[in-house]
Amino acid sequence: MISRYIEQLAWQHESGRLRSSFQRLSRLDDERGTRDVYRTLGETDLNVHVYGVPDWLPPKTFPGVIHAGYHGEFRSSWFVVFHSEAADARTAALVAERVDTNEWEALWTFDDERVRAVNRYIERSL
């Protein structure tokens, strides 16, 4: 629920940066709700970045930047981060790490400084 809430914040603001991890990029195609959400987000002025193992690559018309890799956090992390420089934007971040099959440890925050730190980490590391 929190991941969809963060996507909704981004959609409502219609600008800024949204970074989302899917572990496998094919989830953008095989989960109808996710496919619809990211198609809708791409129709805004948001800067959309998606991350995951490249088991499927979106078509060239995909309205975002693809970050693909096979190791480390591409496989074991799940995040949805909305960041904006606009003073009126409510920013948010969800960060989760897989600790076992279908088991995650996670946190989320609406603290802008923490959201900025998470955004910077992802931008520099993945």
Domains of the chain, with CATH numbers?
A: 2-125 (3.30.870.10)
pLDDT at 26 over 90: yes
Write the DSSP symbol of residue 90: P
Other Cβ atoms within 10 Å of 7 Cβ, number = 22
Say if residue 30 is exposed, middle or buried (CB neighbours under 10 Å; 0-12, 13-18, 19+). Answer: exposed
pLDDT at 31: 87
The residue type of 109 is: T
Report the DSSP beta bridge partners of residue 19.
49, 81
SS3 assignment, position 105: strand
Q: What is the pLDDT of residues 54-92, one digit of tens each?
A: 999 998 889 999 999 999 999 999 999 999 989 889 999
